[in-house]
Structures are given as structure tokens and as C-alpha cells.
Amino acid sequence: MSHLITLLIFLAILGLIVLIHEFGHFITAKLNKVYVHEFSLGFGPKLFSFKRKNDETEYMIKALPLGGYVMLAGEEYEDEEDDKKKKKKDEKPKVKVPEDQKLYNKKFHQKFMIMVAGVFNNFILGLILLFIMGLVYGCDFSSNKLTHLSKDLPLYETGARNGDKLISINGHKVKNDDDIILWVAINGTEKPINVEIEKKDSKKIEKYKIKAKKLEDGNKYFGISVSTKEEKGFIPSVKYAFSKLVSIFKQLIIVIISLFTGKLGFNAVSGPVGIYSVVGMAKGSMLLLLYLTAYLSINVGFMNLLPFPAFDGGRAFLLIIEKITRKKVPLKVESIINGIGFILLMILMVVITIKDIINLF
């Protein structure tokens, strides 16, 4: 029963994030009068579908709930020349779509908005959930001021005291708990960290090298603890939501850079199985589930912004190239690029999933 509840929560979170993302593409396409063939949640065999009266779009749910898509007229290569070349009968579109309703005939700003609308929706969902967290549970605003330092842990033992300020970790400036957690996670607890401390009384900057200490629970700690201030209300909740959005976005940028530079290993990347495990740990707390959903939504939006083929960012990047060079990228070439990108993405997902499954045992 416990695993079933975890699975249902996992599917609900994933479904909400995908629905919000794809709805962004869908509604923006509709507003710009682009013909929408399909709106699908999931991939693979179709489980359920329906069409509304006076609406060309087929809405469907498919068997593999690991994504979704919106199929637009004029998005694929076949749409570009369906009136110029002879085709086999089974290749002809079921519906004759007017040229002015095809994506490739829309203006640059219309196509660009349609491409990035899903990302925008993911960020909005993240903001709303973070705002709800702040409004219901209160907002914790942390600083880099040290407090409640344990005398038995390394940071205190090396000379830091309550009231001092933690300025940097391994040369990276830190302003709050989010920054600290990020740089400690990238460094790991197996290696020492170099910290800069501003002393409370003299304002003098002291440099320390700290090695994590293993405690009875089997985990290693550096002993860093900073002060937090709790606020409640509408305005603090708005401030909290935007500050967390910026913080998460910053973390994702640093993580991507760290993966490419080798500072973070492949084990730092998680797929659906890894996310499922996190949901299992968080399912007992609505606060954690809200934060996890917000984080994943912002994560999906951020990843889709990357200029990689098959991602929304890759498609938007090609549009920008067209605008700068004033030369249209042929839809056939774009389809091939996105197809290759999709295959590479699927291979990566399979490898990550296998890695996550191995880590479960």
C-alpha cells in the first residue's frame, strides 16, 4: 500500500508538471490561431481520447506517463510541402489545414512565444507553489551569520564562533543557507572545504580548512549552521517565492556547469526512478511535497530552456538563428536535428534510470 501511495503521488506530481507545461504550448498556439492536431499526456499506446465540439484537437492520455506533447500543424517536415509533392495515400494528412494556420507561416514572435510558453508555465507553477508554502507554513529567510555552532564539530573547533559570518566556501561567495548547501554538496564530505569567516568583533577575515567529522549516525558533518528569520503574510510570501525561484535557478546553472567541468559526477543526476525515491521520503509531509513539486517544475522549465535539440530551448535557438541570419532553417533539417536530439535524450534517460535502479539496492 505504501508503494502504491508513493506511485500515485509521483504520477500526480509528474502529471501536473507535464500538463502545465504542455498547456502553455497549447493555449499560446490556439491564441495565435495555429491548428493543433493533438494534445497528449504521456507517450506510447493510446489509453483514452476525446474531441470537443467545434474543436479540431484530439485530447488523449497515453500509456507511458513520462512526458507529453502538443502536435501542431506546420511543425513537422511533412506539412511544409504536402501541396507541392505527390504522396502516398496513407501519408496524406486526414485534415486539410489552411496555410495561415500552420506554425511555419507564423511571425517570429508568435513562433517564439509558442516555443517558450511551456517553460514560462513551469516557472509560474513553481512560483505559485512556493508562494503557497510561504503563506501556509511561513517563510524562512536565512543569512550567512553563524549560529548554534556545535562545539564538537569542525567549524567551531577551527575557531569560528556564533555571530561570525561565513563569507565563502572554496572561493565561492555565500549569502544564505541555499548557497551553503549547494557548495557543500558539490564539494562532498570526503574532501576538506576552505572557508572564509568574517569575525564578529574585529571584522577580520579568517581562512580555515575544515575536514568533515563522522558522527554516530554514520554521516559526516562540517558543523555549519546559520541563522534564519521566520516571517508570515502575503508580502513576505511573494518575496520568498521569487527569492527561492532565483536561488533554484542559480543552483541549476551551477550544477549544469559543474557536471560539464567534472566537479560533479554522473551520480548527481537523477531520472524518474530517483525522483520516485525522493517522493517516497517526502510523502509524509505536505510542505516537502509542495517544495519538491515546485523544484521539479522549475527544473523542467530550466532544462527545456537549454539550447539542446528536441528541447524547447533548442527550437527557440533555431528561430533566433533564422532571425539573425534571415535564412530559414528547412523543416526537414530541423526535424532531423530534433529527431537525433530526442534519440540521444532517450538513451541518456535509459542510462540514468538504470543507474537509479542500481542505487536502490
Angle at 308 between CA 307 and CA 310, to 5 degrees: 120
- HEC letters along the chain: CHHHHHHHHHHHHHHHHHHHHHHHHHHHHHHCCCCEEEEEEEEEEEEEEEECCCCCCEEEEEEEEEEEEEEECCCCHHHHCCCCCCCCHHHCCCCCCCHHHCHHHCCHHHHHHHHHHHHHHHHHHHHHHHHHHHHHHCEEEEEEEECCCCCCCHHHHCCCCCCCEEEEECCEECCCHHHHHHHHHHHCCCCCEEEEEECCCCCCEEEEEECCEECCCCCEECCCCEEEEEECCHHHHHHHHHHHHHHHHHHHHHHHHHHHHCCCCHHHCCCHHHHHHHHHHHCCCHHHHHHHHHHHHHHHHHHHHCCCCCCHHHHHHHHHHHHHHCCCCCHHHHHHHHHHHHHHHHHHHHHHHHHHHHHHC
Per-residue model confidence (pLDDT) at position 257: 85
* Grid cell of 355 as nine digits: 543507474
Mean pLDDT score, 51-75: 90
Least confident of 33-42, 72-81, 93-102, 328-337: 72-81
Expressed in angstroms, the distance from the first to the final Cα of the chain is 20
pLDDT grade for 90, boundaries at 50, 70 and 90 = very low
Task: Report whether pLDDT(122) > 80.
Answer: yes
Residue of 322 and 87 predicted with greater confidence = 322
pLDDT grade for 79, boundaries at 50, 70 and 90 = very low
Q: What residues does 51 pair with on adjacent strands?
A: 58
pLDDT digits (tens, 9 = 90+) for 221-280: 999 999 999 999 999 999 999 999 999 999 888 888 887 887 776 666 666 666 666 777
* Grid cell of 297 as nine digits: 517544475
Residues 63 and 42: beta-carbon distance below 8 Å? yes
Task: Report whether pLDDT(89) > 60.
Answer: no
Least confident of 128-132, 258-262, 270-274, 351-355: 270-274
Please list the active-site residues. Answer: 22
Least confident of 59-73, 91-105, 186-200, 246-260: 91-105
Task: Report whether pLDDT(352) > 90.
Answer: no
Task: Report whether pLDDT(85) > 90.
Answer: no
Per-residue model confidence (pLDDT) at position 202: 84
Task: Report whether pLDDT(360) > 60.
Answer: no
Q: How far is the C-alpha of 21 from the C-alpha of 117, rounded, in Å? A: 8
Angle at 169 between CA 163 and CA 172, to 5 degrees: 115
pLDDT digits (tens, 9 = 90+) for 157-210: 999 999 999 999 999 999 999 999 889 988 888 899 999 999 998 889 999 999
Query: Considering the chain, what is the average pLDDT of its residues?
Result: 86
Per-residue model confidence (pLDDT) at position 77: 53
What percent of the chain clears pLDDT 90, i.e. is strictly above it? 55
Per-residue model confidence (pLDDT) at position 229: 93
Residues 153 and 59: beta-carbon distance below 8 Å? no
- The domain locations on the chain are 1-22+106-138+233-329+339-361, 140-231
Angle at 184 between CA 189 and CA 271, to 5 degrees: 90
Per-residue model confidence (pLDDT) at position 101: 93
CATH superfamily of 140-231: PDZ domain (2.30.42.10)
User: Each residue of 338-359: b (16+ CB within 10 Å) or e?
Assistant: beebeeeeeeeeeebbebbeee
pLDDT digits (tens, 9 = 90+) for 281-335: 676 788 889 999 999 999 999 989 988 887 899 889 989 988 898 888 777 777 7
Task: Report whether pLDDT(147) > 80.
Answer: yes
Mean pLDDT score, 336-359: 72
Number of other CB atoms surrounding residue 320 within 10 Å: 12
Q: How far is the C-alpha of 230 from the C-alpha of 342, rounded, in Å? A: 44
CA 155 to centroid of chain Cα atoms: 33
pLDDT grade for 18, boundaries at 50, 70 and 90 = very high
Per-residue model confidence (pLDDT) at position 117: 96
What percent of the chain clears pLDDT 70, i.e. is strictly above it? 87
